[in-house]
């Protein structure tokens, strides 16, 4: 098990699962430019580390993420000066860094499982919309409330939400700024699992553990098809997925899987 601690984001790898924890519980894990920078770096690490097969994202202190830190935006920042200076340098070199942190303009090739306690609001909900599998506490709440403050949800929410829930539900949430309960989120398909409060990370890690046992090349190819074929016609989607499927079938892992099945033993996948 390895661990890297930054004040605002915690990154911990345990075998094939890498867990990213938003770590500003005093401000309900509200996002700063520094935390977005650290998130962007964490996604890159997860993508580039060959031993990582699944990513879990969660929040410390019983809250997932309450969105951007409006207090900090108004001048009430609790960040260290050295963090702000480093963030300024990184954003000057890469103005797109905030969107990378929110997974708007880039996403890791590995599945991302979200564990949501408390609330996922505004930027927190937009980060959630970029994940693949979502576990929520039964008392969790969700919302894109930017219009209430005359702001725009520019982290991907306006585009992604109506692609993941019915249009009228998306319009209701986006235009009123209201919050959605966990049972409603489950009914509309925003989340896939609802569990008792305090148990989301356990469930998310359980799901991640199952995924991590599967063939990583196959998992990543399926994930690419899921993400890239939305909106395509069936024939276009079949053509798009063809090279991904063929590459999987040509792999050594595709030989190991059936052999392990025939020999009644766990498969040992090598990502090749």
Q: Are 241 and 150 within one domain?
A: no
What's residue 72's pLDDT? 67
What's residue 71's pLDDT? 72
For 220, the domain range is 216-262
Q: Confirm whether 168 is domain-assigned.
A: yes
Q: Are 184 and 241 within one domain?
A: no
* pLDDT (tens place) for every residue of the chain, 272 residues total: 444 445 899 999 999 999 999 999 999 999 999 999 999 999 999 999 999 999 999 999 999 999 988 776 656 566 777 778 888 899 999 999 999 999 999 999 999 999 999 999 999 999 999 999 999 999 999 999 999 989 999 999 999 999 999 999 999 999 999 999 999 999 999 999 999 999 999 999 999 999 999 999 999 999 999 999 998 999 999 999 999 999 999 999 999 999 999 999 999 999 99
Q: Confirm whether 234 is domain-assigned.
A: yes
How many C-beta atoms lie closer than 10 Å to residue 165's C-beta? 20
Q: Are 206 and 243 within one domain?
A: no
| 187: CATH | 3.90.226.10
What's residue 7's pLDDT? 85
Q: How many domains, the chain?
A: 2
Q: Are 234 and 202 within one domain?
A: no
What's residue 248's pLDDT? 98
Q: Are 221 and 146 within one domain?
A: no
Q: How far apart are CA 224 and CA 228, in angstroms?
A: 6
What's residue 22's pLDDT? 97
| Residues catalogued as catalytic | 126, 146
Q: Are 140 and 207 within one domain?
A: yes
Q: Are 10 and 124 within one domain?
A: yes
Q: Confirm whether 50 is domain-assigned.
A: yes
C-alpha dist (Å) from residue 196 to 29, 64, 87, 118, 202: 21, 15, 37, 11, 11
Q: Are 13 and 129 within one domain?
A: yes
What's residue 104's pLDDT? 97
Boundary-marking domain end, from 212, 227, 252: 212
The dihedral formed by the CA atoms of 152, 158, 161 and 165, expressed in degrees to the nearest 10: 110
């Amino acid at each position: 098990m390895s661990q890297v601690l930054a004040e605002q984001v915690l990154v911990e790898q345990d075998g094939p699962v890498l867990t990213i924890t938003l770590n500003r519980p005093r401000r309900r894990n509200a996002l700063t430019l520094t935390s977005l920078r650290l998130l962007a770096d964490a996604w890159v690490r997860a993508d580039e580390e060959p031993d990582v097969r699944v990513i879990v994202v969660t929040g410390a202190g019983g809250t997932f993420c309450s969105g951007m830190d409006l207090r900090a935006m108004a001048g009430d920042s609790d960040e260290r000066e050295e963090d702000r200076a480093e963030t300024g340098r990184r954003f000057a070199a890469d103005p797109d860094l905030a969107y990378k942190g929110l997974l708007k303009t880039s996403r890791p090739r590995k599945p991302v499982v979200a564990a949501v306690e408390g609330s996922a609001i505004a930027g927190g909900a937009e980060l959630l919309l970029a994940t693949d599998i979502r576990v929520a506490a039964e008392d969790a709440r969700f919302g894109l409330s930017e219009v209430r403050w005359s702001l725009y949800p520019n982290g991907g929410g306006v585009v992604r939400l109506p692609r993941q829930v019915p249009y009228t539900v998306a319009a209701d949430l986006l235009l009123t700024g209201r919050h959605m309960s966990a049972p409603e989120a489950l009914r509309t398909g925003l989340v896939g699992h609802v569990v008792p409060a305090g148990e989301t990370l356990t469930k998310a890690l359980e799901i991640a553990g199952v995924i991590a046992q599967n063939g990583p090349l196959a998992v990543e190819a399926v994930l690419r098809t899921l993400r890239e074929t939305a909106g395509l016609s069936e024939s276009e989607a079949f053509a798009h997925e063809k090279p991904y499927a063929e590459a999987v079938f040509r792999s050594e892992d595709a030989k190991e899987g059936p052999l392990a099945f025939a020999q009644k033993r766990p498969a040992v996948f090598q990502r090749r």
